[in-house]
A and B are shown apart, each in its own frame.
Chain A
């Protein structure tokens, strides 16, 4: 098989909920475990061993939670936008399930980013909330996640709801570059990005290495958690099919749990 054919075959398999369910179940526990361990290591390292900041003292340590959640809140939205495009162009069912699974996670992680930002802002900026370009655009993203979830709730037919959410997710990605560049375009209180790909960070390695571990840990945890959620959505949506029913019925004698995925409307 040529590479092109292989990609095509993989793309077709991706469209099969049954295959994707198995991938989810196989990868999810490992990614979640790796993520949680990395986060634990990064927190221990960052909180106990990294040197205090010469200006901010110890308060900067919330960075090890704030920066990863903020980055992830954007990545999660980009993922939803890409999945939305895939759903609208190729009508791939899995893409809709990914959006359905990612939106609540995104809402939670954006809320966490905002909350940690407030806790960081109090000692360093002297205020809980500053109507700063970055904070407002992240708050807007929080509302956009909420809109996607609310739109899905409001439309009774799952398929229609999925496509409507996909349109909204794609349109909402316009906000992502605004968040990304808000600190560069406007003169704001929020400091510019901690990391860029082209320049060395303005921090010693003992400070930024735990942050990198934390970011990678959060990404792994996100991937693991998302796959577990997608698996649940697949079970709920495909509950009429034979493979799900035989899976839930389980091996004779044993009761198999299906993680209680939220009941989806047919």
Chain B
């Protein structure tokens, strides 16, 4: 830990190099990359069938559906966050590296968000359109997703790290991570609902930003600790 203070530029270098590597790997299998997004859109479609026609009825639940689907789509992609690197041994190399493990973990989280969370936020207006969400609330929806999905990736990384070595970890991962997602859901969906009700959504948005800052600074350490446990 002492050397890290001296070698600060190298840490940044490691961070960017790791992000670039992860993005390259993701680009090589574009099918895998768009899977969560397609899941998101299929989910929206399913709700249209399940709830039935009637714009009012769909509009009433649109906020909740869009946010919950964002949670589930992120969750779906989480299993692959460390899996491939765990299987081929890259993760162990990262853990043995002289630089702190949390830097590598943070890089993986950032790359993960760029290929899953960001597209979800970008395509959310399409989902909002399909579910007849009031157009006035769409900017708030996109903003809360932009702030909220990184939190989902960061918290999810802790769960993914804890379950990385397990054969049937996917269900357990959902069990561990989803309860921790609740504050994000409350604030994110709360902001959109407030906007729909004509109330200023700033408090929820500021809280969401605070949650992002808080989780981004602490969760990578927890995830790194979890990975070390899993790599034993």
Contact = CB atoms under 8 A, between A and B. Distances in A.
Contacts of B232: 157, 159-160
Contact of B226 (A141, A144, A159, A167): A167
A164 B175 contact: no
B222 A170 contact: yes
A133 B229 CA distance: 34
Contact of B166 (A147, A154, A159, A163): A154
Contacts of A155: 165-166
Interface residues of A, number: 27
By CB atoms of chain B within 10 A, which of A133, A155, A160, A178 has the most?
A155
A88 B228 CA distance: 11
Contacts of A163: 229
Interface stretch (B68-76, B126-134, B178-186): B178-186
B125 interface: no
Contact of A168 (B176, B219, B230): B176
B80 interface: no
Interface string B201-232: 00000000000000000010010011001101
A167 B229 contact: yes
Contact of B222 (A136, A159, A171, A178): A171
Interface in B148-207: 155, 158, 162-163, 165-166, 168-169, 172, 175-176, 178-180, 182-183, 186
Interface residues of B, number: 24
Interface in A245-260: none
Contacts of B155: 171
Given A146-B175, A150-B172, A174 B229 contact: no
B186 to A, nearest CB: 8
Contacts of A171: 155, 158, 180, 219, 222
A116 interface: no
Contacts of B158: 167-168, 171
A181 to B, nearest CB: 12
A163 B153 CA distance: 22
A189 interface: no
A136 B182 contact: yes
Given A154-B172, A155-B166, A167-B162, A175 B179 contact: yes
B62 to A, nearest CB: 17
A168 to B, nearest CB: 6
Would you call the interface of chain A mostly helix, strand, loop, or mixed?
helix
Contacts of A141: 179
A143 B229 contact: no
A154 B158 CA distance: 16
A147 B179 contact: yes
Contacts of A154: 163, 166, 168-169, 172
Contacts of B230: 160, 164
A140 interface: yes
A146 B178 CA distance: 12
Contacts of B186: 133, 136
Contact of A167 (B165, B175, B222): B222
Nearest to A182: B186
Contacts of B225: 88, 167
Interface in A118-166: 133, 136-137, 140-141, 143-144, 146-147, 150-151, 154-155, 157, 159-160, 163-164
A171 B169 CA distance: 19
A150 B182 contact: no
A157 B231 CA distance: 12
A117 interface: no
A58 B177 CA distance: 40
Contact of A137 (B163, B165, B172, B182): B182
Contacts of A150: 172, 175-176
A106 interface: no
Contact of B179 (A143, A151, A157, A170): A143
Contact of B175 (A137, A143, A159, A172): A143
7 contacts: A133-B186, A150-B172, A154-B166, A159-B232, A163-B229, A167-B158, A171-B222
Given A147-B175, A151-B176, A164-B226, 18 more contacts: A136-B186, A141-B179, A144-B179, A150-B175, A151-B162, A154-B169, A155-B165, A157-B232, A160-B230, A163-B229, A164-B162, A164-B229, A167-B158, A167-B162, A168-B162, A171-B158, A171-B219, A172-B180
Interface of B: 155, 158, 162-163, 165-166, 168-169, 172, 175-176, 178-180, 182-183, 186, 219, 222, 225-226, 229-230, 232
